[in-house]
């Protein structure tokens, strides 16, 4: 999920299906709302940029911040009544 105004990535969910499902959309939305811990990298040569990270990791006040509009390119999964109802009740 990307904020259109800032182009910041708010959250994501990886699926290996050809088409995303309603569950995939809801999981991506959850990941955009709920803060996740920074993953520990196992390779000592890899590291995160200290100034990088998801917006809610850099600015904790953005945790659980909702949005007013959802648009998913090339998919109709977000138009499912189940997804719409779930987003209305959780995000508003």
pLDDT in tens, 4-46: 888 888 889 999 988 888 888 889 889 988 888 888 899 999 9
- Provide the 3-class DSSP secondary structure of residue 80: coil
- Listed range (1-5, 13-17, 65-69) with the worst mean pLDDT: 65-69
Residue 78 tokens read as 């977000």
What are the Cα distances from residue 74, in Å, to 71, 77, 78, 87, 92?
9, 9, 11, 19, 24
What pLDDT score was predicted for residue 25? 86
Is residue 13 within 8 A of residue 27, CB to CB? The reply is yes
Confidence of residue 2 (pLDDT cuts 50, 70, 90): confident
Confidence of residue 65 (pLDDT cuts 50, 70, 90): confident
């Amino acid at each position: 999920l990307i904020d259109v105004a800032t182009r910041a990535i708010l959250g994501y969910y990886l699926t290996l299906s050809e088409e995303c499902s309603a569950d995939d959309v809801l999981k991506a939305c959850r990941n955009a709302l709920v803060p996740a811990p920074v993953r520990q990298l196992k390779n000592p040569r890899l590291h995160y940029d200290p100034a990088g990270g998801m917006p809610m990791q850099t600015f904790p006040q953005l945790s659980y911040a909702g949005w007013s509009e959802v648009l998913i390119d090339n998919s109709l999964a977000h138009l499912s009544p189940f997804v719409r109802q779930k987003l209305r009740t959780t995000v508003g």
